Amino acid sequence: MKDFYLFLKRNARQVSFGWVLTFLSSFGQTFLISLYVPEILKAFSLSEGTFGGIYAICTIVSSVIMLTIGHSIDHKPVKTVTTITVIGAAVSCFVLGISHYHIALLFLALIGLRLTGQGWMTHISMTVMSRYYDTDRGKALSVSALGYSIGEAFFPIVISTLILWYDYEVAAIASGVFLLLYLVRLYFVKLTHFDPKKKENKDISSKAIVRDYLKILSEKKFYTMIPASIVVAFTSTSFFFYQYVFVEDKGWSVSLYASFFTAYAITRFVMTLMSGLWVDRFTARRMFRIYLLPMTIGLLPLAFMDGITGALIFLILAGCSVGASGSVTTAVIAELYGVEKLGVVRSLYTMLVVLSTALGPFLVGLLLDADVDFRWIILGLFFMTTASLLNAQRIKNVP
């Protein structure tokens, strides 16, 4: 940990930018939006399935938009892009706060939150940190990724309290105000050292962007990298979205299961830090070949153990893979593609991650509606992660 101490001593101001963005991305993450769901269902008289469909549609739309604008971080000032993103997130929160007037506002709010939160803020943070650092890239990415864990610990308490004391509209508007306060702070922060190292910041033509995407999609290394990169998001979101349905199906204690999240949070926090050190020491390519292994193994006791201990084992092992994913996947993209057009590559990657977080819960929901047994659903996720893990081994042959 001495390496981390020395790194933070020299770079605390720079990496704090990445950390804050992943922290604020919580406003567009599923774990926080899910707190609004019970009140939204009441306000619009929606069923869980209907809202799940709305959420999937909004997430897919946001992922497509992300693909069209994600490249801008490669040729626009970081401060400008970040300011627009934070304003968009704040406006989306305000729209959610008045969404009870019409369901169309709910669609706009969810699209905006998914785009700016899970999509853009994460994209900016990871792209900028990966581009700015080279030898210390793993440590920079892991420190930035800690924002996710802190956000998961902090915001649910605040938002659920506001919803309990007032209503979801007040909680959403308060979230928008919080984001605007950060915007005031951002005004006084100098970020020119993060800007792309180019003499001009002119607009890039649509044809050039399309050519970049087609080139990426034509290369074998993309298909070596992408399955193992997005399967963690697909698997974790699919499970966590319906976790209490699974808990009830197993007949486990809800309160005891909830307490197990402490182990998950601790494991994820530790692995977020350690993965950064390991990326710098062993390279991202080597870490990429094994980081998915803990979650893959953890799915087996979850599927076959009747006792709640199976859930604890899964949460601990899933925390290992989820904690390592942010640093490992972004660093491996930088190693494979370089940093000049990192925004282009990561925007395609981010679109697929966001898309997977929409399709995962949707597909699992269909299986649950079809009365497919819990064990078979988890085994399906196990075979998917296993296939992705085996495919990831091909990265050692990528030039």
d(CA 278, CA 282): 6
Handedness of CA 265, 33, 288, 6 (dihedral sign): negative
For residue 84, report the phi and psi dihedrals to the nearest 5 degrees: -60, -40
* 272, containing H or E segment: helix 261-282
Two tokens, residue 169: 């509209």
The phi-psi region of residue 398 (left if phi > 0; otherwise alpha if psi is between -120 and 50; otherwise beta) is beta
- Write down the pLDDT at residue 366: 81
d(CA 201, CA 62): 25
d(CA 141, CA 122): 11
Give yes or no for a contact between 230 and 353, defined as CB atoms under 8 angstroms apart: yes
pTM score, two decimals? 0.85
Give yes or no for a contact between 285 and 147, defined as CB atoms under 8 angstroms apart: no
Give yes or no for a contact between 142 and 272, defined as CB atoms under 8 angstroms apart: yes
Q: For residue 188, count CB atoms less than 10 angstroms from its CB and return exposed for 0-12, middle for 13-18, buried for 19 or more.
A: exposed
- Write down the pLDDT at residue 201: 46
- The one-letter code for the residue type at 298 is G
| Three-state DSSP class for residue 135 | coil
Give yes or no for a contact between 194 and 128, defined as CB atoms under 8 angstroms apart: yes
Q: Which residue numbers in the chain have pLDDT < 70?
A: 1, 198-205
- Write down the pLDDT at residue 199: 44
CATH 1.20.1250.20 correct for 216-399: yes
- Write down the pLDDT at residue 203: 52
- Write down the pLDDT at residue 204: 64
Two tokens, residue 176: 């928008």
Two tokens, residue 12: 């605390």
Chain length of the chain: 399
Beta-sheet strands, E only, within 103-262: none
CATH of domain 15-194: 1.20.1250.20
Other Cβ atoms less than 10 A from the Cβ of 129: the count is 32
Stretch(es) of the chain classified as CATH 1.20.1250.20? 15-194, 216-399
The span from the first CA to the last CA of the chain, in angstroms, equals 32
d(CA 370, CA 114): 28
| CB neighbour list of residue 183: distance below 8 Å, 6 or more residues apart | 83, 86, 87, 90
